[in-house]
Amino acid sequence: MERVEIVTEELGTEPDGTRKHTMMLNMGPQHPSTHGVLRVVLYLDGEKVKEAVPHIGYLHRGIEKLCEDITYQKCLPYTDRMDYLASICNNIGFILAVEKLLGIEDEIPERAKVAEVIMFELGRIESHLIGIGANAMDLGAMTAFLFCFKERERIYEILEMVCGARLTTSYPRVGGLPMDLPEDFSDTIRNFLNIFPKTLNEIDSLLTRNKIWIDRTKGVAVISKEQAIDLGITGPILRGSGVPYDLRKAVPYLDYENYEFDIPVANEGDAYARYLCRMEEMRQSLRIIEQALDNLPDGPYIADLPDIVLPEKELVYTKMESLIRHFVLVYNGFETPPGEIYHAVENPKGELGYYIVSDGTGKPYRMRVRGPSFVNLQALPDMVKGGFVSDVVAAIGSIDIVLGEVDR
Amino acid sequence: MTSPPDPFDQIRERISGYILSESTFRGEISFAVGAESIVECCSLLKNTLGFTYLVDVTVVDYLTVKFPRYEVVYLLHRFGENYEENLRIRLKVALEQDDPAIDSVTPVWSGANWLEREAYDMFGITFRGHPDPRRILMPEDYDQFPLRKDFDVRDRESSKRSFERALDEGLE
* Confidence band for A14, pLDDT divided at 50, 70 and 90: low
Determine if the peptide bond prior to A244 is cis (ω within 30°): no
A65 chain-B contacts, CB cut-off 8 A: 146-147, 151, 153
Is A370 within 8 Å of A346 (Cβ atoms)? Answer: no
User: Taking CB atoms and an 8 Å limit, are A370 and B153 in contact across chains?
Assistant: no
User: Do A249 and A169 sit in the same domain of this protein?
Assistant: yes
Report the C-alpha gap between A346 and A247 in whole angstroms: 5
User: Do A67 and A51 sit in the same domain of this protein?
Assistant: no
Task: Tell me A166's DSSP state.
Answer: S
Is A82 within 8 Å of A404 (Cβ atoms)? Answer: yes
Tell me what pLDDT residue A19 has: 62
Tell me what pLDDT residue A4 has: 38
* Confidence band for A5, pLDDT divided at 50, 70 and 90: very low
A349-362 pLDDT, tens digit each: 989 999 999 888 88
Residue B6 has pLDDT above 80, yes or no: no
Between A16-20, A84-88, A208-212, A298-302, the lowest mean confidence (pLDDT) is in A16-20
Report the C-alpha gap between B121 and B148 in whole angstroms: 10
| Assigned domain for B167 exists | no
Report the run of H or E that residue A285 belongs to, with start and end.
Answer: helix A271-294
User: Taking CB atoms and an 8 Å limit, are B58 and A365 in contact across chains?
Assistant: no
Q: Out of B53, B112, B153, name the one closest to residue A229 (CB).
A: B53
Mean pLDDT, residues A186-204 taken together: 90
User: Do A11 and A110 sit in the same domain of this protein?
Assistant: no
Answer yes or no: is the ipTM higher than 0.90: no
Strand partners, A320: none
User: Do A211 and A186 sit in the same domain of this protein?
Assistant: yes
| Assigned domain for B29 exists | yes
- A-B CB pairs within 8 A amount to 92
Tell me what pLDDT residue A15 has: 67
Q: Cα distance from A84 to chain B (closest Cα, Å)? A: 19
User: Do A68 and A51 sit in the same domain of this protein?
Assistant: no
A250 chain-B contacts, CB cut-off 8 A: 83, 86
Residue range of the domain that includes B105: 7-137
B83 chain-A contacts, CB cut-off 8 A: 243-245, 250
The 3-class secondary structure across B16-65, one letter per residue, is CCCEEEEEEECCEEEEEECHHHHHHHHHHHHHCCCCCEEEEEEEEECCCC
User: Do A51 and A167 sit in the same domain of this protein?
Assistant: no
Tell me what pLDDT residue A118 has: 92
User: Do A280 and A253 sit in the same domain of this protein?
Assistant: yes
B55 chain-A contacts, CB cut-off 8 A: 232, 342, 344, 351, 353, 370
Q: Out of A100, A250, A342, name the one closest to residue B75 (CB).
A: A342
Tell me what pLDDT residue A359 has: 87
Q: What type of residue sits at position A4?
A: V
A355 chain-B contacts, CB cut-off 8 A: 56, 58, 73, 75
Between A26-30, A136-140, A159-163, B168-172, the lowest mean confidence (pLDDT) is in B168-172
For chain B, give the mean pLDDT. Answer: 83
Chain B CA closest to residue A99: B26
| Assigned domain for B151 exists | no
User: Taking CB atoms and an 8 Å limit, are A375 and B111 in contact across chains?
Assistant: yes
Higher pLDDT, A15 or A156: A156
Residue range of the domain that includes A204: 63-407
Q: Cα distance from B111 to chain A (closest Cα, Å)? A: 4
Strand partners, B56: B75
Between A249-263, B49-63, B146-160, the lowest mean confidence (pLDDT) is in B146-160
Q: Cα distance from B142 to chain A (closest Cα, Å)? A: 12
User: Do A287 and A234 sit in the same domain of this protein?
Assistant: yes
Residues 215-234 of A with CB under 8 A from B: 229-233
Those residues whose C-beta lies under 8 Å from the C-beta of residue B49, and which sit 6 or more positions away, are B10, B11, B14, B15, B78
User: Taking CB atoms and an 8 Å limit, are A355 and B73 in contact across chains?
Assistant: yes
Alpha helices in A139-270 (DSSP H): 142-163, 185-207, 211-217, 225-230, 236-240, 247-250
Which residue of B57, B59, B83, B109 is the best one to mutate when testing the A interface, meaning the one whose CB has the most A CBs within 10 A?
B83
- Tell me, yes or no, if A300 comes closer than 8 A to chain B by beta carbon: no
Counting the structural domains of chain A, the total is 2
User: Do A26 and A91 sit in the same domain of this protein?
Assistant: no
Report the C-alpha gap between A124 and A164 in whole angstroms: 19
Those residues whose C-beta lies under 8 Å from the C-beta of residue B98, and which sit 6 or more positions away, are none
Chain B CA closest to residue A243: B83
Residue B1 has pLDDT above 60, yes or no: no
Question: Residue B44: which CATH number?
Answer: 3.30.460.80
pLDDT over 90 percentage in chain A: 12
Mean pLDDT, residues B50-71 taken together: 87
| Assigned domain for B19 exists | yes
Residue A27 has pLDDT above 70, yes or no: yes
Chain B CA closest to residue A382: B110
Chain B CA closest to residue A3: B170
User: Do A48 and A70 sit in the same domain of this protein?
Assistant: no
Counting the structural domains of chain B, the total is 1
User: Do A183 and A311 sit in the same domain of this protein?
Assistant: yes
**Sheet with strand A5-13: strands edge to edge:** A5-13, A19-27, A39-45, A48-55
| Assigned domain for B125 exists | yes
User: Do A25 and A97 sit in the same domain of this protein?
Assistant: no
Higher pLDDT, A124 or B161: A124
Residue A2 has pLDDT above 60, yes or no: no
A209-259 pLDDT, tens digit each: 888 888 888 888 888 888 888 888 998 999 988 888 888 888 888 888 888
Tell me what pLDDT residue A183 has: 87
Query: Quick count: other Cβ atoms within 10 Å of Cβ B77?
Result: 25
Which residue of A65, A253, A373 is the best one to mutate when testing the B interface, meaning the one whose CB has the most B CBs within 10 A?
A65
A262-317 pLDDT, tens digit each: 889 988 888 899 999 999 999 999 999 999 998 888 888 888 888 888 888 888 88
Between A224-228, A344-348, B67-71, B77-81, the lowest mean confidence (pLDDT) is in B77-81
| Assigned domain for B152 exists | no
User: Taking CB atoms and an 8 Å limit, are B109 and A230 in contact across chains?
Assistant: yes
User: Taking CB atoms and an 8 Å limit, are A229 and B52 in contact across chains?
Assistant: yes
| Most trustworthy range by pLDDT among A184-198, B39-53, B127-141 | A184-198
Chain A CA closest to residue B147: A65
| Assigned domain for B27 exists | yes
* Confidence band for A16, pLDDT divided at 50, 70 and 90: low
Tell me what pLDDT residue A95 has: 92
Buried b (16+ CB within 10 A) or exposed e, A3-41: eeeeeeeeeeeeeeeeeeebbbbebbbebebbbbbbbbb
| Assigned domain for B15 exists | yes
For chain A, give the mean pLDDT. Answer: 86
